[in-house]
A and B are shown apart, each in its own frame.
Chain A
Amino acid sequence: MTEQQTSLLSAEVCAAIDRWIAKYPPERKSSAVMGALRVVQEANDGWLTQALMDAIADYLEMDAISVYEVATFYSMYELKPVGKHKICVCTNVSCMLCGSDDIVAHLRKKLGIGFGEITTDGKFSLKEVECLAACGNAPMMQIGHTYYENLTPEKVDEILASLD
Chain B
Amino acid sequence: MATIEIDGKSYEAQPGQMLIEIADANGIDIPRFCYHKKLSVAANCRMCLVEVERAPKPLPACATPIMDGMKVYTKSSKALAAQNAVMEFLLINHPLDCPICDQGGECELQDIAMGYGQDVSRYQDGKRVVTDKNLGPLIATEMTRCIHCTRCVRFGEEIAGIKELGATGRGEHTRIGTYVEKTVNSELSGNVVDLCPVGALTNKPFRFSARAWEMQQRVGVSVHDGVGASVYYHTRRNEVMRVIPRENETVNETWLADRDRYSFSALKAEDRLTQPMIKRDGQWQAVDWETALTFAADGLKQAVQKHGAKQVGSLVSPTSTLEELFLLQKLMRGMGSSNIDHRLQQLDFSDQAQAPVFPSLGQSLTDFEHSDAVLVIGSHLRKEQPLLNLRLRKAAMRGAKCAFVNPVAYEFNLPVAQQLVVTPNDWVSQLAGIAKALQTSSSNSVNGLDSLLQNVSVSAEQQAVADALLSGERKTVLVGQLAQSHPQFASLRALAGAIAQLSGACLSYTNAAGNTSGAWLTGCVPHRAVGGQAESAAGKNALEMLSEGLKAYILMGVEPELESCVPAQAERALKQAEFVVNLTAFRSAAMDAYADVLLPIALSAETSGTYVNMAGTWQSVAAAVKAPADVRPAWKVLRVFGNLFDLAGFEYEDSTQIQAELQPQLMSLVADNAGSWKLPSSLDTAASQGLQAITELPIYAVDMVVRRTAALQDTQDALSAKGVHLSAATAASLKITDGQAVQVQQGANTVASTAVFDERVPAACVLLYAAQADSTALDSWFGDVSVKPVD
Residues of A with Cβ closer than 8 Å to B? 50, 63-66, 68-69, 72-73
B728: shortest Cβ distance to chain A, in Å? 12
User: A72 to B178, alpha carbons, bound, how many Å?
Assistant: 12
Given A63-B162, A63-B163, residue A69 in contact with residue B168 (CB < 8 A) = yes
Given A65-B178, A65-B179, residue A72 in contact with residue B163 (CB < 8 A) = no
Instruction: Scan B158-184; emit 1 where CB is below 8 A from any A CB, else 0.
Output: 000011111111100000001110000
B166 touches A66 (CB 8 A): yes
B166 touches A69 (CB 8 A): yes
A60: shortest Cβ distance to chain B, in Å? 13
Q: Which residue of B lies closest to A1 (CB)?
A: B759
User: A135 to B169, alpha carbons, bound, how many Å?
Assistant: 26
Residues of B within 8 A of A73 (CB): 168-170
Q: Which residue of B lies closest to A68 (CB)?
A: B179
Given A50-B180, A65-B178, residue A72 in contact with residue B165 (CB < 8 A) = no
Give the top 5 A-B pairs by smallest Cβ distance, nearest first: A65-B166, A63-B163, A72-B168, A68-B179, A69-B166
B163 touches A68 (CB 8 A): no
B201: shortest Cβ distance to chain A, in Å? 16
B62: shortest Cβ distance to chain A, in Å? 22
Within B130-174, the residues touching A (CB, 8 Å) are 157, 162-170
User: A73 to B180, alpha carbons, bound, how many Å?
Assistant: 15
Given A50-B180, A72-B179, residue A66 in contact with residue B163 (CB < 8 A) = yes
Residues of B within 8 A of A72 (CB): 168-170, 179
B167 touches A69 (CB 8 A): yes
**New contact pairs (9) apart from A65-B163, A73-B169, CB-CB < 8 Å:** A50-B180, A63-B157, A63-B166, A68-B166, A68-B168, A68-B179, A69-B166, A72-B168, A72-B169
User: A64 to B167, alpha carbons, bound, how many Å?
Assistant: 12
Q: Which residue of A lies closest to B167 (CB)?
A: A69
Q: Which residue of B lies closest to A27 (CB)?
A: B415
Interface residues of A: mostly helix, strand, loop or mixed?
A: helix
Instruction: Scan B305-317; emit 1 where CB is below 8 A from any A CB, else 0.
Output: 0000000000000
B513: shortest Cβ distance to chain A, in Å? 33
- Can you spell out 7 A-B residue pairs with CB atoms less than 8 angstroms apart? A65-B163, A65-B165, A65-B166, A68-B180, A72-B170, A73-B168, A73-B170
Residues of A within 8 A of B167 (CB): 69
A144: shortest Cβ distance to chain B, in Å? 24
User: A72 to B170, alpha carbons, bound, how many Å?
Assistant: 7
User: A65 to B179, alpha carbons, bound, how many Å?
Assistant: 7
User: A154 to B180, alpha carbons, bound, how many Å?
Assistant: 44
Residues of A within 8 A of B178 (CB): 65
A134: shortest Cβ distance to chain B, in Å? 22
Residues of A within 8 A of B166 (CB): 63, 65-66, 68-69
Q: Which residue of A lies closest to B163 (CB)?
A: A63
Residues of B within 8 A of A64 (CB): 180
Q: Which residue of A lies closest to B175 (CB)?
A: A72
User: A91 to B439, alpha carbons, bound, how many Å?
Assistant: 73
Residues of B with Cβ closer than 8 Å to A? 157, 162-170, 178-180
B342: shortest Cβ distance to chain A, in Å? 40
A145: shortest Cβ distance to chain B, in Å? 23
User: A72 to B177, alpha carbons, bound, how many Å?
Assistant: 12
Residues of A within 8 A of B170 (CB): 72-73
A48: shortest Cβ distance to chain B, in Å? 12
Residues of B within 8 A of A50 (CB): 180
Q: Which residue of A lies closest to B180 (CB)?
A: A50
Residues of A within 8 A of B180 (CB): 50, 64, 68
Q: Which residue of B lies closest to A71 (CB)?
A: B168
User: A72 to B168, alpha carbons, bound, how many Å?
Assistant: 6
A77: shortest Cβ distance to chain B, in Å? 11
User: A29 to B772, alpha carbons, bound, how many Å?
Assistant: 41
User: A73 to B162, alpha carbons, bound, how many Å?
Assistant: 21
Q: Which residue of A lies closest to B162 (CB)?
A: A63
User: A50 to B168, alpha carbons, bound, how many Å?
Assistant: 13
Residues of A within 8 A of B164 (CB): 63, 65
Q: Which residue of B lies closest to A63 (CB)?
A: B163
User: A65 to B180, alpha carbons, bound, how many Å?
Assistant: 9
User: A58 to B166, alpha carbons, bound, how many Å?
Assistant: 17
B238: shortest Cβ distance to chain A, in Å? 42
Residues of B within 8 A of A68 (CB): 166, 168, 179-180
Best-surrounded residue of A63, A65, A72 (most CB of chain B within 10 A): A65
B473: shortest Cβ distance to chain A, in Å? 23
Residues of A within 8 A of B162 (CB): 63
Q: Which residue of B lies closest to A73 (CB)?
A: B170
B791: shortest Cβ distance to chain A, in Å? 29
Residues of A within 8 A of B157 (CB): 63
Q: Which residue of A lies closest to B179 (CB)?
A: A68
Residues of B within 8 A of A63 (CB): 157, 162-164, 166
B439: shortest Cβ distance to chain A, in Å? 33
B301: shortest Cβ distance to chain A, in Å? 62
Residues of A within 8 A of B165 (CB): 65
Q: Which residue of A lies closest to B168 (CB)?
A: A72
User: A64 to B170, alpha carbons, bound, how many Å?
Assistant: 18
B181: shortest Cβ distance to chain A, in Å? 11
User: A77 to B46, alpha carbons, bound, how many Å?
Assistant: 29
User: A127 to B462, alpha carbons, bound, how many Å?
Assistant: 58
Residues of A within 8 A of B168 (CB): 65, 68-69, 72-73
User: A63 to B163, alpha carbons, bound, how many Å?
Assistant: 6
Q: Which residue of B lies closest to A72 (CB)?
A: B168
Residues of A within 8 A of B179 (CB): 65, 68-69, 72
A45: shortest Cβ distance to chain B, in Å? 22
Best-surrounded residue of B166, B167, B178 (most CB of chain A within 10 A): B166
User: A46 to B163, alpha carbons, bound, how many Å?
Assistant: 28
Q: Which residue of A lies closest to B165 (CB)?
A: A65
Best-surrounded residue of B157, B163, B167, B179 (most CB of chain A within 10 A): B179
User: A65 to B167, alpha carbons, bound, how many Å?
Assistant: 8
Q: Which residue of B lies closest to A62 (CB)?
A: B163
User: A64 to B182, alpha carbons, bound, how many Å?
Assistant: 12
User: A64 to B620, alpha carbons, bound, how many Å?
Assistant: 44
B471: shortest Cβ distance to chain A, in Å? 18
B768: shortest Cβ distance to chain A, in Å? 23
B40: shortest Cβ distance to chain A, in Å? 15
B340: shortest Cβ distance to chain A, in Å? 48
Residues of B within 8 A of A69 (CB): 166-168, 179
A56: shortest Cβ distance to chain B, in Å? 14
Q: Which residue of A lies closest to B178 (CB)?
A: A65
A113: shortest Cβ distance to chain B, in Å? 22
Q: Which residue of B lies closest to A65 (CB)?
A: B166
User: A10 to B712, alpha carbons, bound, how many Å?
Assistant: 41
User: A72 to B162, alpha carbons, bound, how many Å?
Assistant: 20
User: A66 to B157, alpha carbons, bound, how many Å?
Assistant: 10
User: A122 to B170, alpha carbons, bound, how many Å?
Assistant: 28
A149: shortest Cβ distance to chain B, in Å? 27
Residues of A within 8 A of B169 (CB): 72-73
B161: shortest Cβ distance to chain A, in Å? 10
A121: shortest Cβ distance to chain B, in Å? 30
User: A69 to B178, alpha carbons, bound, how many Å?
Assistant: 10
User: A24 to B157, alpha carbons, bound, how many Å?
Assistant: 21
A72: shortest Cβ distance to chain B, in Å? 4
User: A110 to B165, alpha carbons, bound, how many Å?
Assistant: 43
User: A68 to B157, alpha carbons, bound, how many Å?
Assistant: 15
